[in-house]
A and B are shown apart, each in its own frame.
Chain A
Amino acid sequence: MGSTVKFVLDGEIIELKDVDPTRTVLQYLREYLRRTGTKEGCAEGDCGACTVVIAELNRDSDGVQLKAINSCIQFLPTLHGKQLITVESLKQKNAGLHPVQRAMVDCHGSQCGFCTPGFVMSLFALYQNNAAPSRVEIDDALAGNLCRCTGYRPIIAAANTMYELPRAGTEPLHEALLAKLEADDALHIEYGTRKFFAPTSGKELAALLTEHPKATLLAGGTDVGLWVTKQHRVLDTVIYTGRVAELRRLSANRTHIEIGAAVTLADAMDVIVEHYPALDELFRRFASPPIRNAGTLGGNIANGSPIGDSMPALMVAGTTLTLMSVDGVREVALDAFYIDYQVKDLKPGEFIALIRIPLPAKNVILHSHKLSKRFDQDISAVCSAYRLELDGQRVASFAMACGGMAATIRRASHCEAALNGQPWNAASIEKAMLALADDFAPISDMRASADYRLRAAQNLLRRFYLETTGELGQSVYRYGR
């Protein structure tokens, strides 16, 4: 077990001792290294000015995985075993520009320039990962980067133009160095009275959590990061799940998709969408690529926010959680996991190890609707999910769950009862819409009023019905794209 954080930066292995475990990667870059190309725009992972790219060796195959992330909320020790690539890393030996940068200049993709390094890094990740992106894929890749000057048109032009330019002479990737890092080491940092652990096995994690019951479990850091940058909280003991082998597993067997709690949202969604293609829109609109690249499905579930977007769909799909502790494992249904606002069926010392999603049965329709002020990277006002099994024209089983409608994500039992066994027609839907008012009494806040939440949730159910009957074509989200 080492205490030195090791990562690759610009062709060198950096070894850092005595790292403040909750110092962010952005603070390290700007304040310590004085590499000021990477900017702070919001310090909460919502604007993308701080975007950097992380490279990691694939665990199951050859090659390297590149991911854009928000450096403003990423803690420095989480770089252990990885390569950090910043806008300065794209520097060419001949003093020229990398094709991504060249394209941005040629297309007038910068005005004030403050968001530009972040866009360059998101584009760099796209350039490396996708040889011929569609317009929708470009939009998706840039959904986590805000630009207030250009209106985006020239940046999209740059995203197309970059592929037409000669490849870079100096490649910023250093695969050989990455391979040299002793990446399987567990990490244990003592910083004054504060501690940071990055165990590598579930057993170790369980033991640490028993020893430090008040420790903060850190996965992607997309929420915990803000506790530090926004709330100025001091986290005494942090246990990082990102290096626990069992928690990083992702597989599908004949009955279930099994997702380790430390699997990123991006990786988890790829597999889920393979089996549940109707969830594609939900997951494209879920947060942003840098958040999905860092954040985990386990974290989304464990966080238990009443506006978490993954849970309604997973709930109606019949998902179960495998909870682990030194005492062993137990299985709990996701729809029984949330007891009240921020109260979960999770005992001290227990953590989510695995998320088990049943594969879709034949003749089952599963769908989810997300409603927010903005299509991309916005927290839902309402997020609904439905699972419908028809027996001819009759509802054999119907499940519905909603986010944004109550203190927890939960099932709509009255609405479900109104539909189960009924004919699947407009009259039944009208009754089910009314029943939804018995299920939820939502609140008003800056995202939506209580009235709108309920009305929209009712109308979304109608939309789902019209989608199943084919009366409603393309959604406005997809329209023309």
Chain B
Amino acid sequence: MGAKAVGQSLPHDSAKLHVSGLAAYTDDLPEPRDLLHVAVGMSAKAHARVRRIDLTAVAAATGVIDTCVAGEIPGENNCGPIIHDEQILAADVAEYVGHALFAVAAETVDQARKATRLARVDYEELEAILDPLQAVAKKSFVLPSETLRRGDPEQAIANAPHRLKRLLHLGGQDQFYLEGHIAMAIPQEDDGLLVYSSTQHPDEVQHLVAAATGRPVKNVVCICRRMGGAFGGKESQAATIACIAAIMASKTGRACKLRLDRDDDMIMTGKRHDFVIEYEVGFGDDGRIHGVDFMFASRCGISADLSGPVNDRTMFHCDNAYFLENVNIVSHRCKTNTVSNTAFRGFGGPQGMHAIEYVIDDIARSLQLDPLAVRRRNFYGIHERNVTPYQQVVEDNIIGEIFDQLESDAAYVERRSAIREFNGTSPVLKRGIAMTPVKFGISFTATHLNQAGALVHVYRDGTVHLNHGGTEMGQGLFIKVAQVAADELGVSVDKIRINASDTSKVPNASATAASSGSDMNGKAAQMACAKIRARLTEFAARHYSVAESQIEFDANRVVAGKSELSFAELVRLAWQDRVQLWASGFYKTPKIHYDRSTFSGRPFFYFAYGAAVAEVIVDTLTGEYRVTRVDILHDCGDSLNPAMDIGQVEGGFIQGMGWLTAEELCWNAAGELTTHAPSTYKIPTCSDLPVDFRVQLLAHAANREDTIYRSKAVGEPPLMLALSVFHAIRDAIASPQQPLPDLQAPATPEAVLRAIEGLAS
């Protein structure tokens, strides 16, 4: 047997192109000769009736070819992905600062953007709701509130020896993909429209563009070779951009490109939901939770977008790795006059986990126990205490093993005592340490989305064309699926051409999201390759008159009994024998079922686990801090590609750290986002990397479920490992004066100093 591709740390399939500047993103594609550039005119008011939009000066501006307001859209004015509650261009009422009101197409980008500023919009201002608590008070919701209950939490809390309550504010987060939103729509003959879009969901772009331009879906093709980052931000939001480009292409009959300026991108497109969380917990002397009550109120913005499933996931993950016997979870999906929030890596899960980790930390601090011990005491059991509040049995619980190994590898106990000693003699600088777990459910909670397709062609020279419904946003999906296909066909990865996601190759694909990309597309590709291999096997057995069991494919060679030939040669012979050399594959995730009306079932095929130990040092005069060391142990099952998986773990962790530390979204009293560029919105830089950063993947960790090569999904779970940093900061600043510091996230230096000094936030 030759070396298998699966399990190898192969580089990203586009690595050489990336470093050479040759990887083409949507804005790098050759531009059609007649291309127009589109810009969007936005609302300056948070909530206003739009009495009149006067575009006279816009239309007369240099280079402007056409403009469009809501009434001129040829098809349906909708870009809501699940519920049709969001307009592409606001028709009568502007609902947030940045709401798209009109579009302009001009000969150059500059001309289009300049022209948008010449519009005269007559607003009649209406009262605006700008924060979640205000929305709760006014019962302003995008979707009905939901409740998930088990046991008798009120009684359990009332009877518990100890009780605590807290109000938490938890900030949102901008995805800050380096490539902003972009789409180019090119009219084709006979009513066709080709759309290049930076999207995680080409299928949805295809369908919404078809509806917006009044075409049957068959006339629209959407293609995406790669995105310059997405992180959930291009799951539903890309469609709005593509629809506007497509509408202008339909109106003008010319190719149209819309590339958002960074500031406009941050103002116009949705982010991670910020939350207000209230909890009350009752617990025993040992720190075990007897009952807990959660209220979650999230800023959904003006429309439902993906807020339903995002907030459902918050409810599903406010247990994290802990058994909550008596629990009440209320979730409000608040309608606010701010941009419609959307998917972001973790998809509501991080907010739920933040809540329960804060509960655990509070319990430990109030009992003066090590939080690590309290975490262990509340973990799900293996055979008992193993059912989630939504009635899924946790069958694959390995959090205890992970904690044991990491506690020892990271020398947690020794370091905790060293820190105590240091803090005793250091009045200004204080160190802190925390170890936190992650248990993250893998699958789309909407069961029907858990399906995927692939298309594999073998050409007569033995090379392979691979397509599947997944999209590449940097996560390494394409190389992982190519590794699967290579092993299934017994060829080397270099024989495989990985192609752009294309709705004309694989239809009806789900978004590449929910960490499920390689699980689902890997299986679909495996299925397609298996069909081709079976046909080649049948042919080879016939051709060489040997049993099918005598046929082996490996390392670009095929052995047929005593004969051996190259894969290419076999393919040529098979073609001459009229064997079909292409196939499609289809996969649907087994075992999952879920009844949303009762919030019960098995929404997740399996869970991914991990843990992190973070250590920080804080300057208690200013609230500044540095993350000095982080140890991570993460479960990727049997990794398809350890280099890609480590990349996801490290990158996800740092992104989560940004969310909980320096990344702060601010709105002013007029509802304007004041942090809409990298000058004001601060994602981590190079020097924010922990001084000492140690990441390992859990060894011998084959997934108990039959996933692709027993691997586990890795896109989202590591983000939540960063909760360790937040709690390490809290550990550092806890003092006899502030034993339970009121630290709010993001823990900017200002938030840290407020917590140290006991000031209200």
Contact = CB atoms under 8 A, between A and B. Distances in A.
Contacts of B30: 34
Nearest to B623: A456
Interface in A230-253: 230, 232
B285 interface: no
B228 A114 contact: yes
A148 B654 CA distance: 9
Contact of B15 (A108, A136, A139): A108
Interface stretch (B329-337, B370-378, B379-387, B681-689): B681-689
B678 A42 contact: yes
A47 B178 contact: yes
A229 to B, nearest CB: 8
B628 interface: yes
B429 A472 contact: yes
A43 B675 CA distance: 15
A410 B18 CA distance: 47
Contact of B176 (A30, A100, A148): A148
Contact of B19 (A46, A49, A104, A377): A104
Interface string A107-129: 01111111111001000000000
Interface string A151-185: 11111100000000000000000000000000000
B11 interface: yes
B15 A110 contact: yes
Interface string A441-481: 00001111101100110011011001000011101110111
B705 interface: no
Contacts of B17: 113
Interface in A81-114: 86-88, 90-91, 97, 100-102, 104-106, 108-114
Given A39-B25, A108-B11, A149-B651, A373 B20 contact: no
B150 to A, nearest CB: 37
Interface residues of A, number: 91
Instruction: Classify the interface of chain B: helix, strand, loop or mixed.
Output: loop
Nearest to B615: A480
Which of B28, B117, B685 has the most chain A CB atoms closer than 10 A to its own CB?
Answer: B685
Contacts of B305: none
Contacts of A69: none
A292 B140 CA distance: 48
B389 interface: no
Contact of B178 (A148, A230, A371, A456): A148
A111 B628 contact: no
A42 B180 CA distance: 9
Report the contact-size class of chain B (Cβ under 8 Å from the partner): 35 or more
B643 A108 contact: yes
Contacts of B617: 476, 479-480
Most buried by A among B18, B689, B750: B18
Contact of B689 (A47, A113, A152): A152
Contact of B624 (A40, A371, A480): A371
A324 B647 CA distance: 55
B229 A114 contact: yes
Nearest to B646: A108
Interface string A62-85: 000000000000000000000000
Contact of A448 (B263, B429, B646, B750): B750
A218 interface: no
Interface in B613-659: 617-619, 621-626, 628, 643-644, 646-647, 650-655
Contacts of A109: 19
A38 B27 CA distance: 11
A109 B16 CA distance: 11
Nearest to B620: A459
B666 interface: yes
B693 interface: yes
Nearest to B22: A37
Given A104-B19, A371-B624, A111 B475 contact: yes
A150 B650 contact: yes
A116 B429 contact: no
B428 A472 contact: yes
A481 B691 contact: yes
A47 B30 CA distance: 25
B11 to A, nearest CB: 6
B750 A374 contact: no
A147 interface: yes
Interface stretch (B442-450, B509-517, B532-540, B751-759): B751-759
Given A112-B228, A150-B651, A446-B664, A452 B678 contact: no
Contacts of A91: 20
B666 A446 contact: yes
Given A43-B262, A146-B685, A460-B622, A87 B675 contact: no
Nearest to B117: A232
A36 B21 contact: yes
A460 to B, nearest CB: 7
A132 B262 CA distance: 36
Contact of B750 (A155, A377, A452, A477): A452
A146 B20 contact: no
Contact of B651 (A117, A151, A374): A151
- Residue among A34, A46, A152 having the largest count of chain B Cβ atoms under 10 Å: A152
Contacts of B626: 375, 476-477, 479-480
Given A105-B11, A111-B647, A452-B754, A375 B687 contact: yes
B178 A445 contact: no
Contacts of B691: 479-481
B110 A449 contact: no
Contact of A41 (B110, B178, B644, B662): B178
A375 B619 CA distance: 13
A145 interface: yes
A376 interface: yes
B417 interface: no
Contacts of B689: 151-153, 156
Contact of A105 (B16, B262, B429): B16
Given A373-B662, A480-B691, A36 B16 contact: no
A399 to B, nearest CB: 21
Contacts of B692: 480
B686 A142 contact: yes
23 contacts: A44-B677, A87-B20, A88-B21, A97-B16, A102-B19, A108-B11, A111-B474, A113-B18, A114-B179, A117-B19, A143-B686, A148-B651, A152-B688, A152-B689, A155-B686, A374-B662, A374-B688, A375-B626, A446-B674, A463-B619, A471-B428, A472-B428, A476-B625
Given A113-B14, A114-B229, 7 more contacts: A110-B474, A112-B230, A138-B686, A148-B175, A149-B651, A151-B651, A153-B650
Please list the 8 inter-chain residue pairs (A to B) with the smallest Cβ-Cβ separation, ordered nearest first. A37-B21, A112-B474, A114-B228, A113-B18, A151-B654, A111-B474, A46-B678, A87-B21
